[in-house]
Chains A and B, each alone.
Chain A
Amino acid sequence: MQVMETVILAIYLIGMTIIGIYFTKRAHSSEDHYWTAGRSINSYVGAFALFAALASSSSLMGAVGSGVALGIPFLFAYGFGAVAILPFTMFLVSGQIRRSGVATLPEFFKQRFGNSVQVVSVFIVVVGMTFYMVPQMTASGLIGSYVLGIEYKTAVIVLGLGCTLYAALGGMWAITYTDLIQGALILIGMFVLAALVLFEHGGLSALVQDALAAAPHFGDVTQPWLSYFGLFLAFLWFGIVSPSAVMRNFASRDARTARRSAMWACLLYLLVFVFGFVVAAGGASLGILDTLENRDMIFVSVIEHYMSPVLAGIMFAGLLAAIMSSADAMLLAISAGVARDIYKEYINKEASEKTVTRIGFVVMIVASIIGILIAINPPQLIAIMVGWVGGFLLSSFGFPLVLGIWWKRANKQGALAGMLGGAIMFLILVITEPFALVSEPIIAAPVSLLLTIVVSLATSPPSEEIQSRVESYHRDQKAV
């Protein structure tokens, strides 16, 4: 057991829990406050919150692990899509969704296409986000088992449940404000670690040479072109199709704040990938990849090698912070889907706010237990699992959403065909593995696009009312 690291981690987790409890009262004062923090977050808090929600365990451990295991161009491909997430989302959907006045992605689908599309979309959100818990739980288990000196399985269970409890208690208020701290910790931690690595090797050029000496394929494109393209697509679309990131956008005070938050969060994310490059090179230069039981552990090894126990403790706290904030945002998306979009919408319209919030709590617990159970035996590298989630959501939601905003003629039948067709095609490709790793959306997303267009054109157009609503998504940039 690493005593100093454990103490710092414990102080951190207790601090976060206190913040969670402090915001509980505020969160439970109204349903809107619980889900979107009363829409009153300013642009700096919003930028860190958006950044922390995106900079998941995968951005840190996964990207570094994949950069060392599969060559640094793989990490660059990860950032190639990931740094573009926020600009791409802003360009195509965020202003329009905000103007539509809805609070969740499935609500938008209901407004635009009707009830059946909403129900299908909730199902996809719940499946996607529940699987997305797996890489988060895997990462927390790896850190926990190293720091606490306990079994990986025990660490997954303890940390997973702790994180759930805290998310469930505070809703978006707690998540947004603790994200401010977590976002800062990730950024400073990565900066300090990168600086230490550079200092020890005497600059970037010497560091890369050391990495190449220990791992000759470090600079190579080791995977088929399709893998890099697929990874790029899956991450590029993540902001558009990920319900948790979109929900963050609604928590900003107004449209201007939302845009500025996204712009600054993009810069923070860019920096993380630049630091990640240095950290991955430091990891490769250690030459220990083949000795690790799990290749995602390389990041932990870099921290251990280059940092003192105090700094390492802070860094592990930053990593766990990243995991917690991402997992929390996902849990919130899952519980919003089931409690608000299904229970209140179709099962009990008269349900009180308290009942809806309580059901959300139970849903969170169930989803995290499923995530924990799968994470006990993780099926792939963290970066690949996250790529699958992005690819699945892109293949099902991407085009029905974008066409729903930009094309008046898109209708319910087209959206349903696009969503189900894309999702099913994606799952077939993941199971049968006919192509390179994470290349599934290259086929499944165009299938969804074609189905949405062809089926929409083959069936009757949406009503005049819906068509004029589509126009209103694009009217008056300030009126939100």
Chain B
Amino acid sequence: MKSNSRIKDPGIILTIVLVFVSLFVLIWWPTDIYLMGISLAGWLMFSTYIIWFLLAAIYVLWIEKKDENNE
């Protein structure tokens, strides 16, 4: 992998996605809206759990696919 292609590295791309999702939650931060008596800011953080797992699965499959193509 050449240094100028690092921006296309799956790890870097998925890190950028992770940062954007986090920023969305932390910037919006809707503390005064409530769902089931719990602040929406809390629910947003809770909903990221599944996103983090999906990102992990995408990374694993992506790298394995890359390996197959390299062979």
- Do A and B pair up? The answer is yes
Q: Is the CB of A91 within 8 A of B1?
A: no
**Could you tell me the distance between the alpha carbons of A221 and B41 in the complex, rounded to whole angstroms?**
8
Q: Which residues of A contact B67 (CB under 8 A)?
A: 256, 477-478
- Taken together as a complex, chains A and B put the C-alpha atoms of A274 and B14 apart, in Å, by 24
Knowing A90-B11, A91-B18, A221-B41, say if A83 contacts B63 (CB, 8 Å): no
Name the residue on B nearest A475 (C-beta).
B1
A54-80 interface code vs B (CB 8 A; 1 in, 0 out)? 000000000000000001110011011
Given the known interface contacts A80-B48, A476-B70, the answer about A90 and B56 at a Cβ–Cβ threshold of 8 Å is yes
A223 to chain B, nearest CB (A): 11
- Is A219 a contact partner of B38 (Cβ separation < 8 A)? yes
Are A408 and B45 in contact, CB atoms less than 8 angstroms apart? no
Chain A interface residue count, Cβ-Cβ cutoff 8 angstroms: 48
CB-based contact B49/A87 at 8 Å: no
Residue-wise interface mask of B (30-71) relative to A, using a CB-CB cutoff of 8 A (1 in contact, 0 not): 010010111101110110111011011101100110110010
B56 pairs with A408, CB closer than 8 A: no
Interface residues on B, range: 35 or more
CB-based contact B45/A77 at 8 Å: yes
Complex CA–CA separation, A282 to B63 (angstroms)? 41
Residues of B within 8 A of A274 (CB): 49
Separation of A79 and B43 alpha carbons in the complex (Å): 11
Contact of A90 among B1, B59, B70 (CB under 8 A): B59
Cβ contact of B49, chosen from A79, A219, A260, A476, cutoff 8 A: A79
Give the segment of A176-184, A263-271, A389-397, A445-453 that binds chain B. A263-271
Verify B37–A219 contact, CB threshold 8 A. Answer: yes
**B15-A88 in contact (CB<8A):** yes
Verify if A305 is at the interface (C-beta below 8 Å from B).
no
A208 proximal to B (CB < 8 A)? yes
The reply to whether A478 and B70 form a contact with Cβ atoms under 8 Å apart is yes
Query: Are B9 and A474 neighbours in the complex by a CB distance under 8 Å?
Result: yes
Residues of A within 8 A of B59 (CB): 87, 90-91, 259, 263
- Taken together as a complex, chains A and B put the C-alpha atoms of A270 and B14 apart, in Å, by 19
> Does B18 lie within 8 Å of A73, measured CB to CB?
no
A212 vs B22: C-alpha distance in the bound complex, in angstroms? 27
Q: Is the CB of B52 within 8 A of A73?
A: no
B37 touches A80 (CB 8 A): no
Q: Is the CB of B48 within 8 A of A83?
A: yes
Q: Which residue of A lies closest to B55 (CB)?
A: A87
Please report the C-alpha to C-alpha distance between residue A72 and residue B41 in the assembled complex, in whole angstroms.
Answer: 11
- Please, which residues of chain B bring their CB within 8 A of the CB of A266? 52-53, 56
Q: Does A197 contact B (CB under 8 A)?
A: no
Residues of B within 8 A of A83 (CB): 48-49, 52-53
Chain A residue nearest to B9 (CB atoms) is: A474
A residues within 8 A CB of B45?
Answer: 73, 76-77, 79-80, 228, 232
Contact of B56 among A71, A79, A87, A219 (CB under 8 A): A87
What A residues does B15 contact at CB under 8 A? 88, 91-92
Contact A88 B18 (CB under 8 A): yes
Bound form: Cα–Cα A406–B64 in Å: 21
A86-B34 contact in complex given A80-B25, A277-B46, A408-B3, C-beta closer than 8 Å: no
Complex interface: chain A residues within 8 A of B26 (CB) = 225, 228-229, 232
Q: How distant is the Cα of A260 from the Cα of B36 in the complex, in angstroms?
A: 36
Say yes or no: B12 contacts A91, CB within 8 Å: yes
Chain B residues contacting A151 (CB-CB under 8 Å) are: none
Check A23 for interface membership: any CB of B closer than 8 A: no
B14 x A259 contact (CB < 8 A): no
- Cβ contact within 8 Å between A86 and B56: yes
Q: Which residues of A contact B48 (CB under 8 A)?
A: 80, 83-84
19 chain-A/chain-B pairs, Cβ below 8 angstroms: A73-B38, A76-B43, A79-B46, A80-B48, A84-B48, A87-B18, A87-B52, A90-B56, A91-B10, A91-B12, A92-B11, A221-B31, A228-B45, A229-B26, A256-B67, A266-B52, A270-B52, A277-B46, A477-B66
Q: Which 8 A-B pairs have the closest CB atoms?
A: A73-B42, A219-B38, A91-B11, A80-B45, A87-B56, A76-B45, A221-B31, A474-B1
Residues of A within 8 A of B (CB): 71-73, 76-77, 79-80, 83-84, 86-88, 90-92, 95, 205, 208-209, 212, 218-221, 225, 228-229, 232, 236, 256, 259-260, 262-263, 266-267, 270, 273-274, 277, 406, 408, 471, 474-478
Beyond A87-B52, A471-B3, 11 additional pairs, beta carbon < 8 A:
A72-B38, A73-B38, A76-B43, A77-B42, A87-B59, A90-B59, A91-B18, A91-B55, A228-B45, A232-B45, A477-B67
